[in-house]
A and B are shown apart, each in its own frame.
Chain A
Amino acid sequence: MTVLAPPAARTLTVTRRRRSVRAAVVTVALAVAVAALFVVTMMVGSFRLSAWEVIASVLHLEDNPSVDFVVRGLRLPTAASGLTVGLALGASGTIFQQLLRNPLASPDFVGISSGAGLAAVGGIVLLNLGGLAISGLALGGAILAATLMYVLAWRDGVTGYRFILIGIGVAVFFDGLIGYVLTRAQLSQARQAMHWLAGSVGQASDTELKVLTAALIVLLPLAVLLQRPLRALELGDDTARALGTRTELSRAGLLATGVVLVALAVSVAGPIVFVALIAGPIANRLLGPATGGILPAALVGAVLLLTADLVAVHLMPTPLPTGVVTGAVGAPYLLWLLATTNRQGAGG
C-alpha cells in the first residue's frame, strides 16, 4: 500500500472528524444546558434556594426538612415533568419528521395529540373523571388515533405524504369533536378541560411521572438504536431495502416508539404544542443538516420545555400554562416553515 492516503481518503477523514467533534460538543453542551435548567427550575420561586441546596436535596446528600419539603415535595415533580416530557416530545417529533420525510409531520399535527385531547376531555366532561384516569384515557386516545391513522394510510405499506394528510384530517375531526364535547360541559368542567388542553408541566402526578420516566429509560436508548434503520429509510423505501433494511418492520418499530413517547408525554402534561415540531429542526441546525440525531433532539426538547416553563411560571405577571408559552414561540416558526418549505417546493 502507498504511504500517503489518496486525497479522497484524507478529505473524508477531515470531514468526518469535524462532524463527530461537532456532534459530541453539541450533545454535551445540550446535556449541560438541560442539567442547568433542571436545577434552576427548582431554585427560583417565592422561596429562593441555592444550586447546592437543590442538588443536595435531590440527591439526598443532606437532610434539611424545610428545603426538602420545597424541593422534593413541590418543585421536583414539576422539574422532572418538564425534563421527561421535553425529552419525550423532542425524540418523538424528530422520529416522525424523519420517518415521514416532512418537517410538518410532528405528532401534534398529525392527530395524535388531538386523539389524546378528545379522550381526556371526554373523560373530564362526560365521565366526570380526574387525575390519573384522565392520563390513562389520554394515553389510550393517542394510541388509538395513531393506530387509526396507520390503518387508514396503509396501502401496500405506509408512505409519508398520505400519512400526513390523513393525520391532519384525523386531527381536524377530533378537534371538532372536542369542541362539541365542550359545548355540552358544565362551566367548571369546561374550565378544567380547557386547562388540560392548554398543557402544563405542573399538572403531572407522581405515578404518571414514574411511568413516563420508566418508558424513557427503555425507549430513548431504543430510539437511538433505531436511528440506524431510520437513516436508511430516509433515502426512500427502495434504497432502504436495497441497503438491507427490513422497511415495514423498522417503520412500525419507529412509529410505535414515537407514538408511545408522545402519548405518555401528552398524558402527563397535556398537549403542549410545538415542542415536538421545533426540537428536531433546532437539533439539525446545531449539528449540521440531515444529521437527525434523536438524542440531541430529545435534549433540545427538554431545554425548550424547561425554559418555557420558567418563562410561563416566573417571568409572566401571572403564572400561565406552559403550552401558552410554547405556542407563542412555535406559531411564528410554523408560519416561517410553511412559507419557506413551499418556496423550496418541498412542502409535499
Chain B
Amino acid sequence: MTRLRAEGLSLGYDDKNIVSNLDVTVLDGKVTAIVGANACGKSTLLRGLARLLAPRSGAVYLDGKALTDLSTLDVAKVLGLLPQTPIAPDGITVADLVARGRYPHQGWFRRWTERDHTAVAGALEATGTADLVDRPIRELSGGQRQRVWVAMALAQDTDLLLLDEPTTYLDINHQVELLRLLCKLNAEAGKTIVIVMHDLNLACRFCDHVIAMCEGSIVAEGAPTDVITAELVEKVFGLSCMIVPDPVAGTPMIVPA
C-alpha cells in the first residue's frame, strides 16, 4: 500500500517541459531521497508531488485520489511541504511561525484549541526549538532557523512530509543534525519523508530509498546499497568516482577518483 504515487507525470514551467512521463511511488513509512545534478528536475518533481505545480499530463494520487480532485486544504492535512527558501515575515517569533503550521486544521472562525497547542508544543519539543519560542527568526543561526521551519511543518501534523533541499545552506554538522532529526521523526512517529538533496553520501547514509534523476527522468531507484554504483554516479553527475563502504554505517560512500 502506498499513499502517494505519480503516474505518467509530466511537469513544466511556461513552454518548457522539465520532467516527463514519470512513474513514482513513495514508500510509506520510509525516508526517500531524491538526488540528481542541478536542474535535473528533482525540485520540480517534489513540487508536483506536493500539488504546488499542476501536471501537464499524468496525475499524482494521494490515497487513491487524483491530487487535482482534492481540495488544497484536504491535501494540507495529510501532506506537508517545506520549500527550498521559505519566507519569514519580518520580526516574526518562533512561537508565531510554528503556530502558523496549524493553518489547515483551523477554520475561519475556530479558535486555537488544545490540539493545536499540543501539536505546536510537540513540534517545538521534537526539533529542540522550545527554548527559542520568544526569539525572532532573523536572530537565529542557519541551523536553528531550519529546525524552526521543520517544526512548522511538523505542527501541520501530516503523515507525509516533503522537504526541498533542507540541508543545502547548512554546515556539515547541522546537515547531519537535521537528517538525524528527520530519521527520528520517521522512526518514532512513522512519518513518510521525502527529501530533495545534493549530498549523495548523506543521502546514502540516512535514507532508506534513493531516487536518482537525470534530465527529467528517473535513472535508478531503490535502497542505496543496491543502486548507488560508480556507473550511476558517472551517469547522473558526470563524476568518475569509486564507491567504498562507509566505515561507520557500511552504506555506499562516494570518493571522487
Which A positions have Cβ atoms within 8 angstroms of B?
5-9, 11-13, 15-16, 19, 98, 101, 103, 156, 225, 228, 231-232, 234-236, 238-239, 241-246, 284, 288-292, 346
| B91/A239 in contact, CB under 8 A | no
* A-contacting residues, B167-208, CB 8 Å: none
A246 vs B88: C-alpha distance when bound (angstroms): 19
Q: Does B20 have its Cβ within 8 Å of any Cβ on chain A?
A: no
How far apart are the CA atoms of A289 and B135 in the complex, in Å? 11
Q: How far is the CA of A98 from the CA of B89 in the complex (A)?
A: 8
CB B129 to nearest CB in A, in angstroms, measures 8
Residues in B113-145 with C-beta less than 8 Å from chain A = 117-118, 120-122, 124-125, 130-131, 133-134, 136
Q: What separation, in Å, do the CA atoms of A90 and B130 have in the docked complex?
A: 35
Beta-carbon contact of B104 and A244 below 8 Å: yes
A97 to chain B, nearest CB (A): 10
Whether A12 touches B90, Cβ cut-off 8 Å, given contacts A238-B52, A246-B72, is: no
Residue of A nearest to B129 (CB): A8
Cα of A185 to Cα of B52 in the assembled complex, Å: 53
The docked-state distance in angstroms from the alpha carbon of A346 to that of B90 is 9
A222 to B75, CA, bound (A): 26
Interface residue from B72, B85, B91 paired with A289 (Cβ < 8 Å): B91
Q: Is B166 interfacial (CB-CB < 8 Å)? A: no
Chain B interface residue bracket vs A: 35 or more
Instruction: Determine whether the beta carbon of A228 is less than 8 Å from that of B106.
Output: yes
Residues of A within 8 A of B134 (CB): 15
**A13-B117, A290-B89 are contacts. A238–B81 as well, Cβ < 8 Å?**
yes
Q: Which residues of B contact A246 (CB under 8 A)?
A: 72
In the bound complex, what is the Cα–Cα distance between A301 and B51 (angstroms)? 39
Could you tell me if B52 and A242 are in contact, using CB atoms closer than 8 angstroms?
A: yes
Is B92's CB within 8 Å of the partner chain A?
yes
Determine whether the beta carbon of B136 is less than 8 Å from that of A289.
Answer: yes
Residues A242 and B95 in contact, CB atoms below 8 Å apart: no
Whether B124 and A12, one on each chain, are in contact in the complex, defined by CB atoms closer than 8 angstroms, is yes
Query: Pick the contact of B86 from A13, A16, A238 — CB < 8 Å?
Result: A238
Q: Are B95 and A16 in contact (CB under 8 A)?
A: yes
Q: Is A244 touching B89 in the complex (CB atoms < 8 A)?
A: no
Contact assessment for A12 and B91 in the assembled complex, using a CB-CB cutoff below 8 Å = no
The answer to whether B104 and A6 touch across the interface, beta carbons within 8 angstroms, is: no
A242 touches B92 (CB 8 A): no
Query: What A residues does B118 contact at CB under 8 A?
Result: 9
The answer to whether A231 touches B95 (Cβ under 8 A) is: no
